[in-house]
């Protein structure tokens, strides 16, 4: 088992990484703003679950294969970019969020669909896979043995803090979106902002080396 000091150090760095602007937290913020807290929280949980695949890949060495194969990296990169672009186009075509009787922004789709979107967007991003391959081993203690178990421990810490931080983002952005959605003229623009964010993320991923 890793020491409390190692886990706390890993948690501190993980929090800094999660709070830093990036594709996942921008997805959470934009969806929460346009579709409400639950939609954003679905994206948040999906992104956290997507990290499970990258932790597994890093543990099994799959991420190392991706790092050494330009063809595989390119295929995953283009797939992730195309998926984000498709989400952006869907958002641009949306008529805008609507309010329920209680004033809460009503997601246009089931919560699990937002979770699936967050999961897919994170899981097929090769940049995230390579990040875990480079980041997590720095906190491993070979002298303790059971490196796979250590990776699992670190992975659980990262996933839990991701859900907590992204959940906070979803709540804050969802509250702001709830206020903005009271203005009917603004509602379609929230989706346009979301669509623009997704398309910008798609373009950014497409040109990652």
Collapsing DSSP to helix, strand or coil, 107 comes out as coil
Find the radius of gyration of the CA atoms of the chain. Answer: 18
CB 39 within 8 A of CB 182: no
* Residue-wise pLDDT tens digits, 35-53: 888 999 999 999 999 999 8
Q: What is the mean pLDDT of the chain?
A: 81
Tokens of 84: 């984000």
Which pTM value belongs to this model?
0.75
Burial of 50 from C-beta contacts in 10 A (0-12 / 13-18 / 19+):
buried
On the question of pLDDT at 143 being above 60, the answer is yes
Q: What is the pLDDT of residue 118?
A: 92
* Average pLDDT over every residue of 21-38: 85
| Distance from C-alpha of 107 to C-alpha of 14, rounded to nearest angstrom | 30
Q: Is the pLDDT of residue 80 over 80?
A: no
Supply the pLDDT for residue 7: 92
Q: Residue 164: pLDDT above 90?
A: yes
From the list 139, 140, 155, 163, the residue with the least C-alpha distance to 46 is: 163
Q: What is the pLDDT of residues 168-189, one digit of tens each?
A: 999 998 888 777 766 666 666 6
């Amino acid at each position: 088992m890793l020491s409390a000091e190692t886990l706390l150090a890993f948690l501190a760095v993980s929090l800094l990484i999660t709070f830093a602007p990036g594709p996942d937290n921008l997805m959470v913020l934009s969806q929460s703003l346009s579709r409400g807290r639950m939609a954003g929280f679905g994206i948040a949980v999906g992104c956290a679950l997507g990290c499970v695949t990258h932790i597994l890949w890093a543990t099994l060495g799959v991420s190392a294969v991706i790092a050494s194969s330009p063809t595989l990296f390119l295929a995953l990169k283009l797939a992730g970019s195309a998926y984000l672009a498709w989400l952006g186009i869907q958002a641009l075509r949306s008529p805008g969020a609507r309010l329920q009787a209680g004033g809460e922004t009503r997601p246009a789709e089931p919560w699990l669909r937002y979770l699936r979107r967050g999961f897919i967007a994170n899981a097929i991003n090769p940049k995230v896979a390579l990040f875990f391959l480079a980041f997590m081993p720095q906190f491993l203690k070979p002298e303790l043995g059971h490196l796979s178990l250590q990776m699992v421990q670190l992975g659980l810490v990262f996933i839990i803090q991701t859900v907590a931080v992204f959940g906070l983002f979803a709540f804050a952005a969802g509250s702001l979106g709830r206020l903005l959605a009271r203005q009917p003229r603004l509602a379609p623009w929230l989706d346009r902002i979301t669509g623009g964010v997704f398309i910008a993320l798609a373009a950014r991923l497409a040109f990652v080396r």
